[in-house]
Structure 1
Amino acid sequence: MTYAMIGTWQMALDGVAQGLQKLATGDTSGNAVEVAVQAVENEPHFKSVGFGGLPNAEGEVETDAAFMDGDTLAIGAVAGLKGFANPISIARRLSDERFNNFLVGAGASQFAAEQGFTTKNMLTAESKQVWEERVAEVKAKNLSPYAGHDTVGMIALDDQRQMTVGTSTSGLFMKHPGRTGDSPLPGAGYYADSHIGAAAATGLGEDLMKQPLSYEIVRLMGTGLSPQAACDQVVYPFIKELRARFGKAGEFSYVAMNNAGQWGIATNVEFTFAVGDDQHQPQVYIAYPNEDVTGANYRLHEEK
């Protein structure tokens, strides 16, 4: 395997395709991940990431993102960022810093402005309408307001065997202002080590933060397990433990890839993901919960 990419959800497909085009020219995994995540952030129809992301309880879009270089283990992350396009690029820029690698709220926005990143109103008319309708529905029916928490996570392997991972999300719909999930947290939402592999998570951050499973998946791959075996051994016992100790488990999924381009997934919900490499065009697969069986349960996703 020369190069490869995997990304969470069907929304990752175009980004994975763009990232693979970069990798095909000998470009770095870092550039491939940034371009791939940007493709999702820039698409307003994806309501859980970037421009057009669903807002918090006060009607503002707050974004979280992270970038990790598997060669150097450098990390950059932002949380509660407001008013800037492409938070993945801001996170990547932070990964170049020796200090102040994780910035939140006003501090993240200040850094972005100082670095000349593009300001943007991230709330679209469509997302505002969805928010207004949900506010009215919650009040009228006394419902829980929270819905929608799908992070895009991208993993890339380049022809120099460098691995990079990136995440981006607008977080939990109608979240409390300042709420941050797992997506920008190293070890929980993502982890990359070019000597081994990388992993990324998507789903309910409140549960995904309870153990650093992305790191644990990478650690187990380092002992010789395949990405699929590592996902199986880490994720499904955690789901059972959550239910036993916490009473329930939110919906979440993990993707992983090693530095040979092999990949694996684990999920407790119907989950789509996109994957491709130097020998295969990017395709979308759909996976199903498979908690009591070794090995992933997935198939090619067919458009309806």
Structure 2
Amino acid sequence: MKRRTFLKNTSLGSLALGIPAAAMSCAERSEENKVADAGPGGPVVLATWNVNNATKAAWDSLAAGSSALDAVEAGCKIEEADIKNSSVGKGGLPDRDGNVTLDACIMDHTGNCGSVVYLQNITHAITVARSVMEDTPHVMLAGKGAEMHALSIGLEAEDLLTPESKAAWEKWKETSQYKPIINIENHDTIGMLVMDKDGTLAGGCTTSGLAYKMQGRVGDSPIIGSGLFVDNEVGAAVATGLGEEVVKTVGSFLIVELMRQGKSPQEACEEAIRRIVEKPGSNYKDFQVGYIAMNKKGETGYYAIHKGFWATQYQGDENKNFESDFYNK
């Protein structure tokens, strides 16, 4: 059964045409390295963290004539299959009971989306999420049902707990104390935004979640509007870091709506971070959240709570890695 067709969003009129140029300040970026405007139609690939192989794969997909959605899937699959990346796909660090569980979502330019939560034994969660979007009447599948669907579309079951991740888990059990560690927990969880040459947007996010989490825990990454949101008339945003805090502010949707109101991607990311850190009683000094965003002009922005969050941008046949500015008040 193919999924139902969603209603198109109302036209934004002159507001969508008046999105200002991005304020692209980054601590380590010189003026000549700024990538401020791809111009209408892109193409551009933007991702969280230093994932040069993933952004290159997405760019190559675009260059071969594939869609923005195809490019997102191609890029995310690179990190899912990299067993050295301990927060995505195969090789991800397990929950406190030793289970590697994956969350992922994907969203296209029409507003269609799909996600999987608590998926086990399947490396490419992003592919399963896309199939949920395209081949079922649903938006989200969880647990055993998600795994069964993955097998039904031809993906193979395999043990995702590598010897390296198992050894790290065994060492953790010596204390069994869980505390988020800034820029360590969820590090390299990949969120990716792609604009093709025609200005079409798509996005995806895939992760194995917080290491040694409680069994059954799900963060922001598979939640449309929190971990990822795409509006082809405005722009797109994706999150990384402590998902519980992103969910509380519906961060990615917030950023897109701020861009709808006229803020640049950089300004929107900064405002979304302020919403987290300036809440009464916020313990933001104890965790990290970072955002990336892109508008319809191909302008990009990235911002985080703490120093040490990086983004990768592929454009013009070249990867560039940027350390984001961060909240510093």
Say yes or no: does 1:290 pair with 2:324: no
What do you get for the CA RMSD once the two structures are aligned? Answer: 1.6
State percent identity of aligned pairs: 31
Deviation of 1:232 after TM superposition, in Å, equals 1.7
* Structure 2 partner of 1:82: 120
Query: Does 48-57 or 146-155 show the bigger shift?
Result: 146-155
Runs of 5+ unmatched residues, structure 2: 1-37
Residue equivalent to 2:239: 201
Q: CA deviation at 1:262?
A: 0.7
2:178–2:212 contact (8 Å) kept in structure 1: no
Code of the residue aligned with 1:67 in structure 2: it is: I
Whole-Å separation in 2 of the counterparts to 1:98 and 1:40 = 25
Alpha-carbon distance in 1 for matches of 2:271, 2:282: 20
2 CA distance for matches of 1:107 and 1:283?
39
Q: 2:89 maps to which residue?
A: 50
1:145, distance to aligned residue in structure 2 (A):
5.7
Distance in structure 2 (CA, Å) of the matches to 1:291 and 1:73: 35
CA distance in structure 1 between the aligned counterparts of 2:45 and 2:180, rounded to whole angstroms: 31
Q: Does 1:101 align with 2:139?
A: yes
1:3 has 2:43 as partner: yes
Q: Which residue of 1 aligns with 2:55?
A: 16
Give the drift of 1:280. 5.4
Identify the range of structure 1 (90-99 vs 254-263) with the bigger mean alpha-carbon deviation: 90-99
Does residue 68 of the first structure (1) align with residue 107 of the second (2)?
Answer: yes
User: Residue type matched to 1:114 in 2?
Assistant: S
Alignment of 1:1-304 (within 5 A): 1=38, 2-10=42-50, 12-69=51-108, 71-97=109-135, 99-138=137-176, 143-144=177-178, 148-150=185-187, 151-241=189-279, 244-248=280-284, 250-269=287-306, 270-277=308-315, 279=316, 281-292=318-329
Name the SS for the 2:174 alignment partner: helix
State the match for 1:300 in structure 2.
none
TM-score (normalised: structure 1): 0.89
Unmatched segments (≥5 aa) in structure 1: 293-304
Q: Cα 1:134–1:145, aligned 2, differ >3 Å: closer, same or farther?
A: farther
Alpha carbons of structure 1 residues 104 and 124: separation in structure 2 relative to 1, 3 Å: same
The higher-RCO structure (CA 8 Å, 6+ apart) is 2
Contact 2:97 2:212 in 1 (8 A): yes
The answer (yes or no) to whether the contact 2:191–2:240 under 8 Å persists in 1 is yes
Q: In structure 2, how many angstroms separate the alpha carbons of the residues matched to 1:220 and 1:97?
A: 32
Task: Give 1:118 deviation, angstroms.
Answer: 2.1
